[in-house]
Structure 1
Amino acid sequence: MAVLVDNLTPWLLALLWSTVLLSRGAADCPKPPEKDHIVLTNESLLKNSFPKGTQVAYVCTNGYEILNGSNSITCTGTEWTEPDLTCKKKDCGYPQKLPNMILNVNEGTLLGASVKVSCEEGYRLIGSFFKRCFSNGWIGRAKCDLVVCNVPSEVIGGNHTWTSAKKPHYGDIIQYSCDPGFTLNGTSHVICQGRGVYNTTPPTCEAIVCDLPSEINDGRHLWTSADQPRYKDVIHYSCNTGFTLHGSSQLICQSPGIYNSAPPTCKEDKSTTPSLNITSTPRPPIQGGIHTLAATEDNLMNTEASSISPPALEAATVPATPGTHGNVMELDNIKETDGDTKDAVSLRHNIVMASVLSTILVVLMVMLIFYAYRYRWRRGSYDTQEDLKPGLLQFQSL
């Protein structure tokens, strides 16, 4: 009997302990429930049993914050009290606006909202085009930098007004101009625009050239190059002998590629034949043998002279020597007026020399003809004598 009791003791103790455990488990609450955006605190999550009277705490999930209600519940024995905690999305607030930045907040500023970022005219965005509201605030970095264009390049035959070492900014205007002798091809200025490019391509400077000089009748120009004359080049003109130039003797190439005047012309020289007319002016007789000389000479000079007017001559009175009679003509005493020149004197001498040479030639020709006829006559006489010699000899023999 004692042995039987000893064998049943462990089983009875185990049954008794199980009964105690079951009676205690029936009084604990289950794991606390979770709702949208509401979770247990870390401390509550570490508990394994929730007997009657146990309290657990709730918190809002990441990105949410408590709107109202209590953040704890209590185990009443087998169930929990109803949680009344309400959470709302976190508000990131209006994002920070940097200088020259534009923010579009149409989606609001709560958790998950996005803001579009752009820049004012003349600035360009560096960084993200959006900012997004997360639990720890706005995410997305951006800034607006001033738009710049490349430094304008140099222009051959011209220059521009940009002298700074820095790049031109948005809205800056660069003016262009050309050196003398060059003409501007394109717009005279460019503007730096919002995308960092100019509104148009820079202009160029082209050299001013004129057409090749035209030929003129009875004359010529001295331009021998095959290239067209450039700005300020001078074209010289001249006429052939016997022609006079009318107009400017030189043309100058000017802007915008035209000459300063029309080409000159060459006209033939047509000078009048000088004549010498000397007439006497009657005077009353004066005792002592002095009276007016009279002389007339027409067509003294019959040659053409270029642009020289015949000298005007005046009649001169010469006193007569007592005891002489008649009119004495002294051409050497004819006075030359201011219009007389050395060329007229030289022409007069040339006429005299021509007259002398002509006279000498005539005399030589007469003498040549005379001697020719004389030689022929003498030759004829000699031939006649030779023909008569046989007859004379025969006559003498008889």
Structure 2
Amino acid sequence: MAILLLAAGCGTPTPLLFAELSKEDKNQTEFPVGMTVNYTCRPGYVEQPQMSPTITCLENQTWSEAQEFCKLLQCPPPPNIDKAKHNSQHLDVFPAGIVVNYSCDPGYSLLGEESIICTDSGNWSLPLPQCAGGCGAPPNLSFAELTKESKTKLEFAVGDTVRYSCRPGHLRRPGMPQTLTCLQNHTWSEALEFCKRKQCKYPESPKNGRVVVLTDLLFGSSVNHTCDEGYRMVGQSHRRCEVLGRDVAWTGLPPICQSK
């Protein structure tokens, strides 16, 4: 009577959380002693350098111990974004597939997607979101300039207010605030003319001549002087209302009209 001898070997290779059998070894049905099978890392895991991704069927018909030749793929801590915070400050590990959400500080708006994801390459998805500042530099006004405190500010969130002071030659209009505010649409509120031009005194007319007011007597305006017929002008005919100390006055001296 013939005796059927079964070949010594191992059963199905050990299932691993971090790796799966290679395509070639998945099709194997018999695993004799001495046979080695190969694994590939599962998604979200990466090979450990200098560690062989294999196990071997031993003489005792058991599989050799599977070393942890695939480690969990993870990203570095999420990048910090200016004027923003993310929702994963409590985490120490960031495996592939984890999603991190950002939110901007009050007064700033999110540009781009609010979330990033740790990819299978161990890097965070791009592009990173950004938080846009409320407004750009405050407008330059002909009649007023920023106060020292407001000049030192570099960023302006929605809701921020800057203050102006009247330039030389100008006077504050009563009851009008000297401020601008950064609005929700990231533009500055309308700059009302809260400083008015100071006015020079009516210029004296030269003897035997007269003054010609070209526009008005306000700061920056000009007047001309003319002499009566039979007289000639000595000095400048043109004068301008300019800053003098803390007030305004006409430049130079009035001309003289001399008899020809």
TM-score (norm: length of structure 1): 0.36
Report what 1:211 is aligned to.
137
**How far 1:151 moved relative to its partner?**
3.0
Q: 2:20 aligns with which of 102, 117, 140?
A: 102
- Between the aligned partners of 2:171 and 2:42, the Cα distance in structure 1 is 81
Aligned partners of 2:117 and 2:92: how far apart in 1?
16
Letter in 1 for 2:11: G
With a CA cutoff of 8 Å and minimum separation of 6, indicate the structure with the bigger relative contact order.
2
Partner of 2:220: none
* TM superposition shift of 1:174: 1.3
**Aligned to 2:9, what secondary structure does the other structure show?**
coil
The Cα shift of 1:147 comes to 3.6
CA RMSD in angstroms comes to 4.2
Correspondent of 1:163 among 89, 110, 121? 89
Q: Which has the higher helix share?
A: 1
Tell me, yes or no, if the aligned pair for 2:83 and 2:108 is still in contact at 8 Å: yes
Are residues 252 and 117 of structure 1, via their aligned partners in 2, closer, same or farther at CA, if it must alter by over 3 Å?
Answer: same
Partner Cα distance (1:181, 1:243) in 2: 30
Distance 2:6 2:152 in 1: 90
Q: Is the 8 A contact 1:208 1:255 kept in 2?
A: yes
Taking a change above 3 Å as real, the CA distance of residues 136 and 142 of structure 1, as seen in their structure-2 partners, is same
Question: What is aligned with 2:181?
Answer: 252
DSSP 3-state at the match of 1:258: coil
Residue 188 (structure 1) aligned with residue 117 (structure 2): no
1:326-341 paired onto structure 2 within 5 Å:
none
Quote how far apart the aligned CAs of 1:141 are.
1.9
Q: Report if aligned partners of 1:156, 1:204 keep a CA contact under 8 Å in 2.
A: yes
Given candidates 104, 107, 126, the residue that maps to 1:178 is 104
Q: Is the 8 A contact 1:238 1:245 kept in 2?
A: no
Aligned counterparts of 1:241 and 1:145: Cα–Cα separation in 2: 72
Counterparts in 2 of 1:116 and 1:259: CA distance versus 1, 3 Å: same
Distance 2:66 2:154 in 1: 63
C-alpha separation in 2, matches of 1:172 and 1:229: 33
Residue 103 (structure 1) shift = 1.9
Do the aligned residues in 2 keep the contact of 1:237 with 1:264 (CA within 8 Å)? no
Deviation at 1:259, TM superposition (A): 0.3
* Distance change in 2, residues 1:220/1:267 (3 Å): closer
Query: Higher mean Cα deviation, 135-144 or 90-99?
Result: 135-144
Supply the distance in 1 between the matched residues of 2:41 and 2:170 (Cα, whole angstroms).
81
**Aligned residue for 2:66?**
141
Which one-letter code corresponds to 1:110 in the other structure? F
Kept after mapping to 2: 8 A contact 1:174/1:191: yes
Matched with 1:394 is none
Question: Taking structure 1 as reference, are residues 125 and 109 closer, same or farther at Cα in structure 2, changes over 3 Å only?
Answer: farther
Structure 1 gaps of 5+ residues are 1-67, 70-85, 270-398
Name the CA distance, whole Å, in 2 between partners of 1:176 and 1:213.
Answer: 31
In structure 2, do the counterparts of structure 1 residues 222 and 148 end up closer, same or farther at CA, with 3 Å as the change threshold?
A: closer
Partners of 2:85 and 2:44 in 1: CA distance: 26
Letter in 2 for 1:198: W
In structure 2, runs of 5+ residues without a counterpart are 199-260
Larger radius of gyration: 1
1:120 aligns with 2:46: no
How many matched pairs?
Answer: 183
The question of 1:129 aligning with 2:53 is answered yes
Aligned partners of 1:201, 1:243: CA distance in 2, in Å?
48
In the superposition, relative to structure 1, how do residues 194 and 142 fare at CA in structure 2: closer, same or farther (>3 Å)? farther
Cα 1:89–1:249, aligned 2, differ >3 Å: closer, same or farther?
A: same
Between Structure 1 and Structure 2, which shows a larger proportion of strand residues?
2
- Following superposition, the deviation at residue 97 of structure 1 comes to 1.1
